[in-house]
């Protein structure tokens, strides 16, 4: 009995040490800075598109008009001030501010303010635009949310050029390794694992992913297609193999990505899958942002070395 208690106590202590090391080890900001730059550029692009289609999607007479969007969200917690705004001038100003926030985020200027502002404005737009959203919006909001926690603007940014002292300030924080950087990175990593796990598990509810034809039926979807991939049909073995590899990779990503031995292969597969989606299925934005999210598994030191080779900062 005493042995069992001692074992349990030691197990809890080990667990606590592991938790502490996993979440509360300081980390450098270079990986998150790279994600910030890409994510800011994507947000800028997304809001530019909304800006030029403002009446069709956000206006009083949009596809989903104001009374309808309020009714759709009457019983949930999704709320946006845009549920009550139909004035085109106000909406244009809203989107111009959102574009500016995206640009500031990319440049890393006033990053501490720009990232929360970009997240909030994008969140408001996303709730307003129920029905017109897809994976891109889910992932870009998720990444921006986590970047708010970190000091991603402390390197490779205009903020770092204008920082007065090495110790930094709240607005222009130091580039030293920080716990907040680690927490943000871990949250992105875990969120990605959840996305891939349920993406894989959900495919297991269908038959095509098992019998090997899913990739064919994805490739011949005319509405998605941006490149003719019907030649794949001449190689049924290749289609079935790629289908099987995709579902196994997606389901077991959450385990394989943590081991140093399998991480490079897992990330290379992510680039192939999402690159394929970007090029073949016409979802360049979604494919790109998923590759950007996968950068969370690249160590800051590796990213820093890359930056040095590219002579950044």
Interface residues for another protein in 144-203 (CB under 8 A)? Answer: 145, 155, 166-168, 174-179, 183, 187, 190-191, 194-195, 198-199, 201-203
- Nearer residue to another protein within complex by CB, 203 or 248: 203
Work out which of 57, 83, 248, 252 binds another protein, going by CB under 8 A. Answer: 57
Q: Which of 1, 3, 4, 61 binds another protein (CB under 8 A)?
A: 61
230 near another protein (CB under 8 A): yes
Residue range at the interface with another protein (CB under 8 A); choices 1-9, 86-94, 125-133, 264-272: 125-133
To the nearest whole angstrom, how small is the minimum distance from the Cβ of residue 8 to another protein? 20
Stretch that binds another protein, among 6-14, 68-76, 88-96, 98-106 (CB under 8 A): 68-76
Exposure string for 282-302, b = 16+ CB within 10 A, e = fewer: bbebbbbbbbbbbbbbbebee
Q: Residue 150: which residues within 8 A CB-CB, separation 6 or more?
A: 29, 32, 178, 180, 181, 183, 184, 185
Q: Which stretch binds another protein (CB under 8 A): 15-23, 33-41, 84-92, 110-118?
A: 15-23
Helix (H, G, I), strand (E, B) or coil at 173: strand
The answer to whether 153 and 111 are in contact (CB under 8 A) is yes
Place of tokens 């205009």: 158
Contact track, another protein, 274-293, x by CB under 8 A: --------xxxx--------
Q: Tell the smallest beta-carbon distance from residue 287 to another protein (Å).
A: 11
Told to check if 141 binds another protein by CB under 8 A, we report: yes
- Look up residue 45 and give its DSSP letter: H
Determine the Cα–Cα distance for residues 128 and 200; give it in Å rounded to an integer: 29
Q: Which stretch binds another protein (CB under 8 A): 1-9, 87-95, 107-115, 212-220?
A: 212-220
Site for another protein in 31-50 (CB under 8 A): 45-46, 49
Query: Is residue 92 part of the contact set for another protein (CB under 8 A)?
Result: no
Residue 35: closest CA among 268, 288, 301, 266 = 288
Q: Dihedral through CA 127, CA 131, CA 132, CA 136, nearest 10?
A: 70
- CA 295 – CA 225 distance, rounded (Å): 26
């Amino acid at each position: 009995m005493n042995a069992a208690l001692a074992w349990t106590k030691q197990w809890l202590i080990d667990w606590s040490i592991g938790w502490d090391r996993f979440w509360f080890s300081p980390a450098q900001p270079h990986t998150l800075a790279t994600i910030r730059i890409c994510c800011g550029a994507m947000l800028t692009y997304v809001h530019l598109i909304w800006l030029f289609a403002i009446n069709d999607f956000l206006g009083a007479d949009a596809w989903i008009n104001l009374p309808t969007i309020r009714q759709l969200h009457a019983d949930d917690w999704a709320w946006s001030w845009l549920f009550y705004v139909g004035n085109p001038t106000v909406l244009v100003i809203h989107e111009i501010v959102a574009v500016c926030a995206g640009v500031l985020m990319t440049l890393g200027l006033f990053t501490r303010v720009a990232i929360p502002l970009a997240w909030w404005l994008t969140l408001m737009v996303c709730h307003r635009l129920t029905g017109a959203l897809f994976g891109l919006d889910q992932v870009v909001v998720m990444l921006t949310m986590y970047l708010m926690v970190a000091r991603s603007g402390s390197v490779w940014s205009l903020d770092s050029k204008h920082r007065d002292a090495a110790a930094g300030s709240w607005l222009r924080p130091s580039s030293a390794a920080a716990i907040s950087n680690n927490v943000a990175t871990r949250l992105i990593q875990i969120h990605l694992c959840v996305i891939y796990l349920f993406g894989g598990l959900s495919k297991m509810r269908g038959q095509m992913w098992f019998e090997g034809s899913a990739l064919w039926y994805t490739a011949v979807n005319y509405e998605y297609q941006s490149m003719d991939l019907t030649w794949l049909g001449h190689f049924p073995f290749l289609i079935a193999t790629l289908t099987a590899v995709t579902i196994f990779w997606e389901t077991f990503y959450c385990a394989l990505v943590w081991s140093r031995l399998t991480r490079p292969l897992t990330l290379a597969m992510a680039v192939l899958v999402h690159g394929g989606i970007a090029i073949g299925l016409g979802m360049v934005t979604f494919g790109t942002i998923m590759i950007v999210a996968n950068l969370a598994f690249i160590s800051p030191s590796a990213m820093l070395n890359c930056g040095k080779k590219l002579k950044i900062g």
